[in-house]
């Protein structure tokens, strides 16, 4: 039995390709749709579609949004409390430094030190207080 490679290729060349015919005869249309929303919840129509696809998903999405809101509220409360404590700590430290400086100035005067020492000891906290007031008003 003898096989002829040339004859076989001629037969293939004469036959139209079934794949080529199908590709030429059909047209494919691809439609893409994108939905976007801001916030933790989708629009009601989208929420209904989620519920239709996976029963119970709307309730799960609402529970997730409520949980996120609780978390955010807790985090903001903690942050606010920390900021208040930091501000109070700064005020206490500033008052302490000012009291020490004024006390030091009083002791320097009592011991007969030069007047520049007392002015410097009182001037530093005074400048810091003025700076704090000016920054508070500008904000």
In-domain check, residue 11: no
In-domain check, residue 76: yes
The answer, yes or no, to whether residue 92 has pLDDT greater than 80, is: yes
Binning pLDDT at 50, 70 and 90, where does residue 20 land?
low
The answer, yes or no, to whether residue 2 has pLDDT greater than 90, is: no
In-domain check, residue 90: yes
pLDDT tens-digit series, residues 28-80: 888 888 878 888 888 999 999 999 999 999 999 999 999 999 999 999 999 99
In-domain check, residue 32: no
Structural domain containing residue 62? 39-138
HSE value, Cβ hemisphere, 13 Å, CA-based, for 37: 9
How many independent structural domains does the chain possess?
A: 1
In-domain check, residue 128: yes
**Inter-CA distances, 36 with 20, 31, 46, 59, 117, Å:** 40, 17, 10, 20, 67
* 55 or 25: which leads in pLDDT: 55
Helices (H), 33-139: 44-53, 57-111, 115-138
């Amino acid at each position: 039995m003898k096989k002829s490679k040339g004859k076989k290729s001629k037969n293939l060349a004469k036959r139209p390709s079934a794949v080529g015919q199908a590709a030429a005869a059909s047209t494919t249309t691809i439609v893409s749709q994108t939905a976007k929303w801001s916030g933790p919840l989708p629009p009601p129509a989208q929420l209904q579609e989620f519920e239709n696809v996976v029963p119970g998903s709307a309730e799960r999405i609402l529970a997730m949004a409520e949980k996120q809101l609780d978390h955010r509220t807790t985090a903001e409360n903690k942050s606010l409390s920390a900021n208040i404590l930091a501000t109070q700590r700064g005020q206490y430290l500033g008052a302490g430094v000012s009291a020490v400086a004024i006390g030091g100035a009083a002791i320097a005067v009592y011991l007969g030190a030069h007047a520049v020492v007392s002015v410097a000891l009182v001037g530093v906290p005074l400048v810091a207080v003025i700076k704090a007031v000016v920054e508070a008003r500008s904000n």
